[in-house]
Amino acid sequence: MQKIITLKTDRKNGLYDITLKVHEVIKESKVKTGIASVYARGSTAAIMIQENWDQSVQNDVITLLNRLIPSGIWEHDHQDNNGDAHLKAGLVGASETIPVVDGNAGLSTWQNIFLCEFDGPRSQREVVITIIEDK
């Protein structure tokens, strides 16, 4: 089963929790054992599994990436001024694979799934969720 979810982002750099949406797709698939592939469409967005206890870890991720990859100094900035967004997305990665265990995402207590926006705000970001059953 495959489903595309969309969301709106409201800042240049941010992490958006999509865990509940992924859970819904897994439930809808009725798969009990398998994998869920979560893939961000677009070369300036990424997918990350991270803690969601409070906003501090998400803020720290953005602070780290902004310090490692500052804006305004990249060759690609001459085209559309988002060289840092491409590099951040490439470093984090476009997808994550999550096990499906007993019909649920096999995440630990503190793990959540995030769309990482590095070139926002955007009126629409797409995430492709593919559920594959282990037979």
- CATH number for position 71: 2.60.120.460
Largest Cα–Cα distance of the chain, in whole Å? 50
pLDDT along the chain (135 residues), means of 10: 98 98 98 98 98 93 98 94 97 98 97 98 98 93
The position carrying tokens 């096990």 is 99
What pLDDT, on the 0 to 100 scale, is given for residue 25? 98
Distance CA 102, CA 81 (A): 45
The gap between the terminal CA atoms of the chain, to the nearest Å, is 14
List the domain range (segments joined by +) for residue 42.
Answer: 2-133
What pLDDT, on the 0 to 100 scale, is given for residue 81? 94
What's the total number of domains in the chain?
A: 1
What pLDDT, on the 0 to 100 scale, is given for residue 135? 79
Q: What tokens does 90 get?
A: 């490439």
